[in-house]
Chain A
């Protein structure tokens, strides 16, 4: 199945910053699996799926729009 992926351009800790495109993943994949495919450290990012906050254990569905943002460490 395919998901639409957007890696936010401010994600300076990833060479994938600014990436926008479709990614093939196997059914049953979770957020954690997707970021692994993209070579992004799961502790450095968080996900929004279809505009809503999601988690590394969130199940992905065909056609989901996944945005990947960098986390910001503390204030």
Chain B
């Protein structure tokens, strides 16, 4: 018997209330690893071009990985996958916390939800027992209230994945939140709206079983070698959180400022990770099995935002609700972050939409009549907070902004699309391709739209090395040389991490592919697994996601591009000067390395090489 996997996935039809258990053959597990890989295959099998993202036919797939619930470091994670209502293409989100660990302990690798309940429901998975329960008393509650309520009903060991009011109202940038006040988010691509469209408020899990591994002693010995280097090399994340490099990001021209229109912003010092550690940080938060602890647990004890507590803002949140809106009040950002978490909206897309609206306001495309009297000026923290409420509650102009900047700009028309910074409808995260060239080709080609965590090449421009791939030194961040090939490798690695369920921060901890293969050997028991097979699995998963987008969503090279602002308007700052990323050149190299046609379509030869010619044969 394989270690790591529990061998059971719940298939729940909310229309009929029917619950089945599925198991997948080892051959398929080895081909798609778990979590993202398996969920991609299921989404590919069970949805298509006719699937409306908010229709009952869409599938919302929760999937943990073989490492989840074991002692493998930073593996307390799971993936949620669905066709995205924000972008209309492949959508997924990776998240930490403890929900995935508890699902595995309850005896399951994943939960597939489809159909639509007639009235609000929640799913309870308690030590192997599954029930669909009435959630009318939860409907309307925010995500922290839901967590508290479910703990009250089912006990303190209950761990919750849920939507807030935004998901219920099917706001297209709605998130799915986990672990209550610790607020671990599947933020991107609007998957909270998918959950809301199914009348599903929450999935609560309670689990205490053990996730068996193939060789417990061997794994422990192996981890003794890995853990010290992970801990030593990720001190910044532990001490200062993901916002620890905010000052450096501003100096490099990486963090967005004024809706990506400029660089150099001295007030950045007011919203850095150091400032957070010095002022409102209470303690560090660790996801399941994590030795790093980059999460922030904060508390504001006085002033206008007194009472804000729990998860503090991440780098991404600071970059969007902060510098991109030119708001330099850390406590206001922390409050807005808590509002986003409670309402259940993605802080990246929300901050980006507000920055977009601020630029519309500056140029007179909208005015106070559109904003219900709010002066939507750069740096106006109160206005930013009010806009968060409007988006999360789908009120006033929030209705429009909650559709994401692509749709909003198309509805407004005129000059508005100039200010909409997105790829394939997904707003850019807070890293600038003008500061790190690989992000250009990475954002242009990543399967859920603009995503640094799918692109991954920028890790190698910041300091990560990967000896097995020949990357033994830091890559020149502004140079386009070899960035197509780098992105090919890094995207495949991101698929591997998302499928086994490993946090990407482990790359800063100098974890190598060889380490991961060792962990597979001791956890799952595949003694003959190699680095080559691992890389091939990553490439296969990435290509199946691409094929989903190509075959069901009409994606091709025409979509593999960047917003005009990023391609042709330099930041003119001390970090990047006049530098602009030469996307076309990198994209050419990338397509060649991928074995895709120049239209961005995986070639038949590549499809055969990856064993995807039988992709239309279902997983089971």
Q: Report whether B274 and A74 are in contact in the complex, using a CB–CB cutoff of 8 Å.
A: no
Contacts of B505 in A (CB 8 A): 75
Q: Which residues does chain A contribute within 8 Å of B133, judged by CB atoms? A: none
Contact of A8 with B319 at beta-carbon distance under 8 Å, contacts A53-B239, A71-B244, A72-B237 already known: no
Q: At the interface, is chain B mostly helix, strand, loop or mixed?
A: helix
Chain A facing B: main interface SS: loop
Q: When A71-B240, A75-B505 are in contact, do A13 and B463 touch as well, CB less than 8 Å?
A: yes
Q: Which of B228-278 contact A (CB under 8 A)?
A: 232-237, 239-240, 242-252, 254, 273-274, 277-278
Q: Give Cα A71 to B247, complex, Å.
A: 9
User: Is B573 located at the chain interface by the 8 A CB criterion?
Assistant: no
From the candidates B233, B277, B314, name the one contacting A75 in the complex (CB within 8 A). Answer: B314
Q: Could you tell me if B235 and A74 are in contact, using CB atoms closer than 8 angstroms? A: no
Smallest Cβ-Cβ distance to B243: which chain A residue: A74
Tell me which of B248, B278, B314, B315 contacts A43 (CB under 8 A).
Answer: B248
Which of B236, B237, B242, B314: most chain A CB closer than 10 A?
B236
Give min CB distance, A65 to chain B, whole Å. Answer: 15
- Inter-chain CA distance A46–B463, complex, in Å, is 16
Complex Cα distance A46/B273, Å?
10
Query: Known contacts A72-B508, A74-B242, A74-B430; is A8 also within 8 Å of B254 by CB?
Result: no
Complex alpha-carbon distance, A53 and B277, angstroms: 9
Q: When A48-B239, A71-B244, A75-B294 are in contact, do A10 and B254 touch as well, CB less than 8 Å?
A: no
Q: Does A44 contact B (CB under 8 A)?
A: yes
Contacts A70-B463, A75-B315 hold; do A43 and B247 have CB atoms under 8 A apart? yes
- C-alpha gap A69/B233 in the complex (Å): 9
Chain A positions 32 through 75: 1 when the CB is less than 8 Å from some CB of chain B, otherwise 0: 00000000010110101000010110000000000001111111
Assess whether A74 is in contact with B232, with CB atoms less than 8 Å apart.
no
Q: Given A12-B474, A46-B274 in contact, is the A72-B239 Cβ separation under 8 Å?
A: no
Inter-chain contacts of A8 with B (CB < 8 A):
232, 235
Q: Is B615 located at the chain interface by the 8 A CB criterion?
A: no
**Could you tell me if A46 and B244 are in contact, using CB atoms closer than 8 angstroms?**
yes
We find that the number of chain A residues with CB closer than 8 angstroms to chain B is: 19
Q: Give Cα A10 to B250, complex, Å.
A: 21
Residue count of chain B within 8 Å CB distance of chain A: 39
Q: Bound complex: CA of A53 vs CA of B234, how far in Å?
A: 14
In the complex, how many angstroms separate the beta carbon of A41 from the nearest chain B beta carbon? Answer: 8
State in angstroms the CA–CA spacing of A64 and B245 once bound together: 25
Which residues, 382 to 430 on B, are CB-close (under 8 Å) to A? 430
Tell me if B462 counts as interface (CB < 8 A to partner A).
yes
Also in contact, A10 and B247, with CB within 8 A (given A72-B237, A74-B316, A75-B504): no
Minimal beta-carbon separation of B291 from chain A (angstroms)? 15
Contact: A73 with B315, CB < 8 Å? yes
Do A74 and B431 touch (CB < 8 A)?
A: yes
Distance from B247 Cβ to chain A, minimum over Cβ atoms (Å): 4
- CB atoms of B245 and A72 under 8 A apart: yes
Instruction: Indicate the member of A10, A56, A71, A75 with the most B CB atoms within 10 Å.
Output: A75
Contact with B245, one of A53, A55, A74 (Cβ below 8 angstroms): A74
Given known A10-B233, A10-B463, A46-B274, contact A72–B314 (CB-CB < 8 A): no
Q: State how many angstroms separate the Cβ of A37 from the closest Cβ of chain B.
A: 20
**Separation in Å of the B618 CB from the closest CB of chain A?**
35
A41 to B242, CA, bound (A): 19
A57 to chain B: closest residue by CB: B278
Q: Out of B248, B315, B430, which one reaches A44, CB within 8 Å?
A: B248
**How far, in Å, is A25 (CB) from chain B's closest CB?**
21
- Minimal beta-carbon separation of B60 from chain A (angstroms): 24
- CB-CB < 8 A to A71: which residues of B? 236, 240, 244-245, 247-248, 273
- Chain B residues within an 8 Å CB radius of A13: 463
Q: Can you list, as one digit per residue, whether each of B266-297 has a CB less than 8 Å from chain A (1) or not (0)?
A: 00000001100110000000000000001000
Complex: A50 Cα to B105 Cα, angstroms: 40
Provide the residues of chain B in CB contact with A55, threshold 8 Å. 274, 278
Residue numbers in B under 8 Å from A53 (CB-CB): 239-240, 277
Chain B residues contacting A75 (CB-CB under 8 Å) are: 242, 294, 314-316, 453, 504-505
In the complex, the chain A residue whose C-beta lies closest to that of B314 is A75
Which residue of A has the minimal Cβ distance to B268? A43
Q: List 19 A-B contacts (CB under 8 A).
A: A8-B232, A10-B510, A12-B463, A44-B248, A46-B274, A48-B239, A53-B277, A70-B463, A72-B245, A72-B462, A72-B508, A73-B244, A73-B245, A73-B315, A74-B245, A74-B249, A74-B316, A74-B431, A75-B294
* Nearest 7 Cβ contacts at the A-B interface: A73-B245, A74-B315, A43-B247, A75-B242, A71-B245, A72-B236, A71-B244
Q: Which residues of B contact A (CB under 8 A)?
A: 232-237, 239-240, 242-252, 254, 273-274, 277-278, 294, 314-316, 319, 430-431, 453, 462-463, 474, 504-505, 508, 510
15 further A-B contacts with Cβ under 8 Å, apart from A72-B463, A75-B315, are A8-B232, A12-B474, A13-B463, A43-B247, A43-B248, A43-B250, A46-B240, A53-B277, A69-B235, A71-B245, A72-B236, A73-B254, A74-B314, A74-B315, A75-B294
Residues of A within 8 A of B (CB): 8, 10, 12-13, 41, 43-44, 46, 48, 53, 55-56, 69-75
